[in-house]
Amino acid sequence: MKKLLLTSLGFMACFVLFSQTTNKYNVEIVRDSFGVPHIFGKTDADCTYGLVWAECEDDFNTVQWGLLLAKSMLATHMGIEGAKIDYAVQLLRIRKIIDEHYDKDVSPEFKKILQAAADAGNRYAQLHPDEVLVKKAMPVGPKDFIAGYMLSMALMTGIDGALNDMVSGTVATASFVEKGRGSNAMAMNSKITADGNVYLDVNSHQPMEGPLSWYEAHLQSEEGLNMYGSTFHGGVTIFHGVNENLGWAHTTNGFDAIDIYQLEPDPKKKNHYLVEGVSYPLEINRAKLSVNLAKHPDKHKFVLTIHKKIWWSKFGATVINKKGIFAVRLASNMTIKAPEQWYRMDKARNFTEFRQALDMQGIINQNITYADKNDTIFFISNGAFPKRLPGYNWTGTLPGNTEKTLWNDFFPESAIPQVLNPDCGYIFNANNTCFRATCNRDNVKPSTIDATMNHDTTMTNRGLRFEENIAKYNKVSWDDFLKIKYDRQYPEHALFFKKFQAFDIVELKEEEHPDIADAIKIIKGWNKRGDADNMNATLTYKVLYYIYNHSNGEMEAKFVTDKKAKFEFFVKAIQEVKKEMLADFGSLSIPLGEYQRHQRGNVDLPTDGGPDMWDAKYGKDYGKGRIRVWMGESFILLAKFTRAGPQFRTVSPYGTSNKPGAKHYTDQMQLYINHQTKEESLSKEWAYKHAERIYRPGEK
């Protein structure tokens, strides 16, 4: 009887909890004809509750990826691969840093946002227990949503490469995010637009599925929030898009965001190191890794818990390997302000308020290309740039036995490369150097920026091609803007690979290589276009992919000076690709779209574009010699700002839902490959007019 009474009380407690969670938030979700959630709440927190609820509805698995990361429980679901991430999270002290900074660095207003996110995730899990991946991960709390932001930014600045070098003992300089896989953005104002309006292209290049893929949504509250754009699954804010007054796009920037130090061991004391002759103890802890060793960890459980030693020094996360003691220092595990900064940017009503949000410096990297209805355009190589002393090789491994290399402060936003309202009327970024963001006369001069920031000074094919395109126009119409955005032409002097010029392959002579003379002729005849019906692009793409996948840093360095070795490698690449094409297609000339596919579920479509092209597409093997596009053009928002506000259209590569069989799982795919977009709006009336479904989240 006592057990029955306790059980009944437990059910009553759950019922009370469910009722409170349901009634606490005044929010309604309006799904439009493409399933995009337009979320209307009385408060901003109401909107966040609705946003996270919608994310869970459309892809609860990916939302949980971030939550498992926050709790260092990915290995329980993913096995060994998850254990690597769990180790990194604990090594970098992400959770500890959140706990230390939460009370002082997160405003009371934003704590309500995070609490609403947690309430939505818990409520969804309670009503959908069969979808929960790891039961022990529930419930989630407000702090759990911050960890995903921190690790995502760390990954974008190259922490995975740096940690791999440190753990494996092959310590090298901190890695930049790989070039050629990034994003495009451009903005134009009345100085160049034919109709006098302001144009903005929001066009990030992200994976099309998984934790770093985009989720499209609209948030509108009675507290002044009215933002449309995209976020990651599990995000509590919109990352980029437009509100009633302004908008912006992100592109990943290249700068030296990570420093690796070699510490000097104290020969007299074990697990101690010397700084300026003073001995300091290494802090020693153990990472707890609960690893699912089942053959298919997403379906079965065989969990073994292991403990791996981790260290910490005054320079940061520390690793001991065969070469010595090494530490890594990065801004992304020194601040937790990124989510709130995006929230402040979402709510900004003008350029002044937007710049005030940037002063938070919580978003530690990512260029920003900005536009507003007041004819303002703005570019900034945004980030948290450490104040470093000159005289050291900050791109190499640094001495960790001196205070001179230990930085704690950052340059103010005003000291970072930026361009405001250039005379030529346009700004752009395609992951190229921030010193070429507009016309030459208005570009920031590298000599005016502190050299220790170590900004990337290279160009991408996309950056070069934009400069070729914009030079054709005195005035740009909206149709011209779209032509530039969907351009499928490589620049005249295409780069392809940064460390060695892969397109030198056209120097091969047919008569010297009769076995591949026909293939060389096709490559030479390629017009550097990525149209789906291009008959010469497929073989050329396959050769370039082969070169990319089969070369390494040592080879690339050799090819710079050893032209003979480089061309021998090119010949081998063509020989292998020729064999593959004849085996798979019976021909060396097939339409690009037959090789490059946009596929999901039972939809399999030909698609154009290519690597590091404005119409960016990156593929992985798909069987029978084909590739399936997995990254590149992802969420696209094209906005025209009039004095009354923005008019905009959007498209996503697949659809709003990531659940196989759902109505909106593949319904944008044809639009996407046709370079078409769908109408969207910030208007509440518009959302209800186009409503497919209207409901209150969390209610049965």
Q: How do 398-399 and 258-265 pair as beta strands?
A: parallel
Shared-domain flag, residues 222 and 365: yes
Q: Tell me if 378 is assigned to some domain.
A: yes
Shared-domain flag, residues 459 and 379: yes
Shared-domain flag, residues 477 and 515: no
> What pLDDT score does 167 carry?
67
Q: What is the pTM of this model?
A: 0.92
Shared-domain flag, residues 448 and 401: yes
Q: Is 23 exposed, middle or buried (0-12, 13-18, 19+ CB in 10 A)?
A: exposed
Query: What percent of the chain is modeled with pLDDT above 90?
Result: 76
> What pLDDT score does 569 carry?
92
Q: Is 535 exposed, middle or buried (0-12, 13-18, 19+ CB in 10 A)?
A: middle
Q: Tell me if 447 is assigned to some domain.
A: yes
Shared-domain flag, residues 402 and 444: yes
Q: Tell me if 545 is assigned to some domain.
A: yes
Domain boundary among 485, 513, 535: 485
Q: Do 589 and 525 touch, CB atoms closer than 8 A? A: no
Shared-domain flag, residues 412 and 480: yes
Shared-domain flag, residues 363 and 436: yes
Q: Which domain holds residue 549?
A: 502-600
| Tokens linked to 570 | 């090119």
Q: Tell me if 107 is assigned to some domain.
A: no
Domain boundary among 554, 581, 600: 600
> What pLDDT score does 257 carry?
86
Shared-domain flag, residues 343 and 221: yes
- Whole-number Å distance between alpha carbons of 392 and 677: 50
φ and ψ of 465, to 5 deg: -70, -35
Q: Tell me if 102 is assigned to some domain.
A: no
What are the Cα distances from residue 162, in Å, to 72, 153, 256, 311?
20, 14, 12, 16
Tell me the CATH number at 365.
3.60.20.10
Shared-domain flag, residues 442 and 367: yes
- Whole-number Å distance between alpha carbons of 23 and 287: 40
pLDDT beneath 70: ranges in the chain: 1-23, 160, 162, 165-181, 298-300, 496-501, 700
Which residue in 564, 432, 574 sits closest to 498, CA to CA?
Answer: 432
Per residue in 315-329, pLDDT tens? 999 999 988 999 999
Q: Tell me if 68 is assigned to some domain.
A: no
Q: Do 438 and 426 touch, CB atoms closer than 8 A? A: yes
Q: Tell me if 446 is assigned to some domain.
A: yes
φ and ψ of 600, to 5 deg: -160, 135
Number of domains in the chain: 2
Q: Tell me if 475 is assigned to some domain.
A: yes
φ and ψ of 189, to 5 deg: -115, -170
| Tokens linked to 49 | 């509750």
Domain boundary among 485, 510, 528: 485
Per residue in 19-53, pLDDT tens? 344 458 999 999 999 999 999 999 999 999 999 99
Shared-domain flag, residues 533 and 432: no
> What pLDDT score does 12 carry?
34
Shared-domain flag, residues 526 and 477: no
Shared-domain flag, residues 231 and 379: yes
Longest dimension (CA), the chain: 94
